[in-house]
Amino acid sequence: MGECCKRILLSASFGHREYIVLFLVMFQLVRVLGGYTPKNQTKIPAVFAFGDSIIDPGNNNHLKTLIKCNFPPYGKDFIGHQPTGRFSNGKIPTDLLVSGLGIKELLPPYLWVHLSPEDLLTGVSFASGACGYDPLTSVLVNVISMTEQLQLFGEYKERLKAIAGEERARYIVSESVYLVCTGTDDIANTYFTTPFRKTHFDIPSYVDFLVSKAKEFLRQLRQMGAKKIGFVGLPPIGCLPSQRTLGGGILRECEPRRNEAAQLFNARIQNAISELRNEESFRGAIVVYMGIYDILIDIIQRPYAYGFEETTRGCCGTGEIEVTLLCNSITAPTCPDDTKFVFWDSYHPTEKAYKIIADDMFRKYNQLLS
């Protein structure tokens, strides 16, 4: 201990205790002004993600599917300007989540061949671009279904035990945050683009079908040990550039039926989550509905308030339909400044838009993220 500290403590022992109070205040001030921040300020040991392309960091790279983006211009603004399989120009929401929680910089894909023990200890993503709650959605494009993602999680748990031992593995599984984010492809593609579901369902009944599948997934996830679950609602699907092109008419307006389906799903899944909380198996668990519809529609309707200029098309190519293979550096040059665009391609937001949405989620859902 330094001489200055010794003198203060010695004075305190003789009754001048105000000196030690002053010392502690000054020490705290130095910590703050000096930018002192622990590497991990959270008690959350890991994050696990299940869902679609919004949170797929590259699992689809390892599949025989056309739904991939591990080529330029994807990753243009990522670390090292590398296309990793993330469906954006840069980081995606799960990267921003683990970074914001102080866990690590990026959430890697579970199927990545270079996963380290530390990667496994601090969380991975099982998400697969273009999957959905409807089992048919994954089958149509040969990606990992939500059921198969749970199977991969079961495999992961065994790997975790081998690395960490049973006691620590049980702690990690129990105390981590689980993010569930999918459903857009069910409505945008499986229902509105293909004929397979329209003949059997109207929109309300199809939404009920999706909600029942989502509830089933949450029950299975809880049975596998998840206690802190964040369920991400659907965005304004009809305002995605691709959906404007396909259903918005010559003016490419937001397509109302797709937005109504998303809003209906969001309302009914919130009721379903309330029902789950009352089930015996969910006692002691936290399940939080995390809405993104309102923040994204506000960005789209008031872009200049958030520093954007373009909301109706993506940065890649014409921005009206290009996504995955159609968004490539050969046939689809990108816009000069993607920070002015809400969308990167015709389906996925830019990193800048994701950051705004992630910041909104941190503000609203600290019950789950603390």
Residue 348 falls in the annotated catalytic set: yes
**Amino acid (1-letter code) at residue 321:** I
Phi and psi for 176 in degrees, rounded to 5? Answer: -80, 165
Which of 119, 134, 242, 348 is flagged as catalytic?
Answer: 348
Contact 137, 130 (CB under 8 A): yes
Residue entry with tokens 């840069």: 90
Q: Tell me the C-alpha distance between 305 and 298, whole Å.
A: 9
* C-alpha separations of 128 from 155, 160, 216, 352 in Å: 16, 21, 19, 22
Nearest Cα to Cα of residue 209 among 133, 149, 262: 133
Known catalytic membership, residue 360: no
Catalytic residue, candidates 53, 128, 242, 346: 53
Task: Give the span between the Cα atoms of 272 and 117, in whole angstroms.
Answer: 36
What's the distance, Cα to Cα, between the start and end of the chain in Å? 34
Rounded Cα–Cα distance for residues 75 and 84 (Å): 7
The total of other beta-carbon atoms located within 10 Å of residue 329's CB is 14
134 noted as active-site residue: no
Rg (CA), the chain: 23
Measured between alpha carbons, how far is 72 from 330 in angstroms, rounded to an integer? 9
Which candidate in 56, 345, 346, 360 is catalytic? 345
Within 10 A of 246 (CB to CB), how many other CB atoms are there? 19
- Active site amino acids: 53, 345, 348
